[in-house]
């Protein structure tokens, strides 16, 4: 995401309050846009449809969307990281002509895989009208493609166009879902949401084409990266499994879980609180994009440029020191901004969730998982450092800690009582952050040694 971050930092060069707010606002929208805007859109849609008297049908729609998000993120996780690496390599090699064809190839692959999964799951295992089943399968297909296209948007320089994509897409989703619900009920809601997601995907592709578009058929050259970067692909898979593993455990094992329809399960007591807590990621993602990754990436590039150009050892060590300082300062700012926002929400949780009609147990889950989300942003930042330093095995071990601890502690909590709800996710984010931090610290300490000793003696 450093590509678009470099453009946003130019806004801050004016050193005015307005320019700073402008930059951080755009960074928050871009860094967490697809997730936060989708949650806000769904919440607003639920409120409108509830007041319109369609509350009895909403469970099927919202639980289906939850399953769609889970499926789409887990299935595209490996491909997202591989495409990030492939696109970054193409930009570095000044081979921009490889970028748009790889997007088309990735979209074809994603649509085929997730379209097949969607039709099998919703038509075979979810009892509903044919319109609802087909629309839900289509949403899974398109949302998965949106996660892929979002990878390429981070390299686009026109950040205002990126924000417009999200605004237009989710506005169409809201209006179309609300309008079609009046005629076709819950099936119309899903069809309208699908229409908006299609508009979002098409506008994203259009923006990417304007930046990197070239003529030519879809390219699947990125698939060769699976062999070279298997650990990177596994990181994407295990990380997303770690994010989601606690949800189905609550659906199936919690006394509050229940079957909504066929293979669709829910546990509103847990789901609602957790999804609300994930809306708090915006400040941390803004700092991550503007301060941490962008500055770190700049010094990282300078370090290796000096190595390649045979700079002096003094210059190389000074640049490394700048890189470490930028990382330390960025992490401190991330914890300061995200921590302050999290603390404010924890203290206001009683009043906030009471106003939303949620109970005491959900308030406790919300408070616990708010801390988990804060730690998750830190974990993501440290994982990114490991990716930059090419310590993929260390990143995979950290992701594995994250997923396994979430699984084990969540199971332990379900076997005891409700006071443990949400602790699995928070403990997992803390363990992942500690592991990734330790690995990143060791990698930076040995950076110049590993950089030079990894080179061949004879060329």
Q: Per mean pLDDT, which range of 9-18, 354-363, 449-458 is the poorest? A: 9-18
Segment 82-100 mean pLDDT: 86
pTM above the 0.85 mark? Answer: yes
User: What is the chain's percent helix, strand, coil content, to nearest 5?
Assistant: 85, 0, 10
HSE on the CB side for 342, CA within 13 Å? 23
Checking if the pLDDT of 109 tops 80, the result is yes
Handedness of CA 13, 17, 20, 26 (dihedral sign): negative
Cα of 366 vs its chain's centroid, Å: 20
44/241: higher pLDDT: 241
Q: How confident is the model at residue 30 (pLDDT cuts 50, 70, 90)?
A: low
Segment 274-301 mean pLDDT: 79
Checking if the pLDDT of 281 tops 90, the result is no
Cα of 58 vs its chain's centroid, Å: 25
Place of tokens 């952050």: 433
Q: Which tens digit of pLDDT belongs to each residue from 312-349?
A: 888 888 988 988 898 898 889 889 989 999 999 999 99
Checking if the pLDDT of 51 tops 80, the result is no
Residue from 222, 239, 266, 269 nearest 417 by CA: 269
Distance CA 212, CA 16 (A): 32
Q: Which tens digit of pLDDT belongs to each residue from 373-396?
A: 999 999 999 998 999 888 999 999
Checking if the pLDDT of 2 tops 50, the result is no
Checking if the pLDDT of 23 tops 70, the result is no
């Amino acid at each position: 995401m450093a590509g678009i971050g470099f453009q946003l930092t130019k806004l801050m060069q004016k050193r005015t309050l307005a320019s700073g707010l402008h930059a951080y606002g755009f960074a928050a929208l871009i860094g967490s846009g697809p997730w936060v805007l989708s949650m806000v859109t769904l919440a607003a849609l639920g409120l409108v449809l509830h007041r319109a008297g369609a509350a009895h049908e909403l469970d099927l729609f919202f639980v289906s969307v939850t399953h769609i998000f889970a499926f789409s993120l887990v299935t595209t996780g490996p491909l997202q990281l591989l495409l990030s690496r492939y696109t970054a390599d193409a930009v570095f090699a000044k081979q921009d002509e490889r970028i748009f064809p790889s997007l088309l190839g990735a979209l074809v692959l994603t649509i085929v895989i997730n379209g097949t999964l969607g039709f099998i799951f919703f038509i075979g295992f979810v009892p509903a009208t044919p319109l609802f089943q087909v629309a839900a399968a289509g949403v899974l297909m398109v949302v998965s493609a949106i996660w892929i296209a979002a990878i390429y948007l981070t390299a686009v320089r026109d950040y205002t166009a990126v924000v417009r994509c999200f605004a237009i897409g989710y506005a169409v989703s809201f209006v179309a879902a609300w309008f079609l619900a009046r005629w076709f009920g819950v099936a119309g809601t899903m069809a309208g949401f699908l229409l908006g997601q299609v508009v979002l995907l098409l506008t994203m592709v259009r923006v990417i084409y304007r930046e990197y578009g070239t003529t030519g058929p879809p390219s699947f050259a990125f698939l060769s990266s699976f062999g070279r970067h298997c650990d990177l692909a596994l990181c994407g898979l295990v990380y997303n499994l770690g994010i989601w593993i606690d949800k189905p455990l609550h659906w199936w094992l919690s006394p509050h879980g229940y079957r909504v329809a066929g293979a669709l399960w829910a546990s509103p007591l847990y789901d609602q609180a957790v999804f609300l807590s994930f809306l708090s990621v915006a400040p941390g993602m803004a700092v991550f994009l503007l301060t941490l990754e962008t500055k770190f990436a700049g010094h990282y590039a300078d370090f290796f440029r000096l190595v390649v150009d045979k700079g002096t050892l003094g210059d190389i060590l000074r640049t490394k020191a700048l890189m470490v300082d930028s990382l330390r300062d960025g992490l401190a700012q991330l914890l300061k901004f995200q921590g302050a926002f999290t603390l404010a929400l924890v203290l206001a949780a009683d009043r906030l969730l009471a106003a939303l009609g949620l109970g005491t147990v959900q308030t406790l889950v919300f408070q616990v998982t708010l801390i988990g989300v804060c730690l998750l942003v830190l974990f993501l930042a440290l994982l990114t450092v490991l990716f930059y330093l090419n310590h993929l095995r260390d990143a995979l071990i950290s992701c594995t800690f994250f997923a396994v601890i979430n699984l084990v502690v969540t199971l332990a909590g379900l076997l005891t009582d409700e006071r443990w709800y949400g602790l699995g996710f928070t403990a997992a984010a803390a363990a992942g952050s500690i592991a990734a931090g330790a690995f990143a610290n060791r990698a930076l300490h040995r950076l110049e040694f590993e950089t030079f000793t990894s080179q061949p003696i004879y060329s």
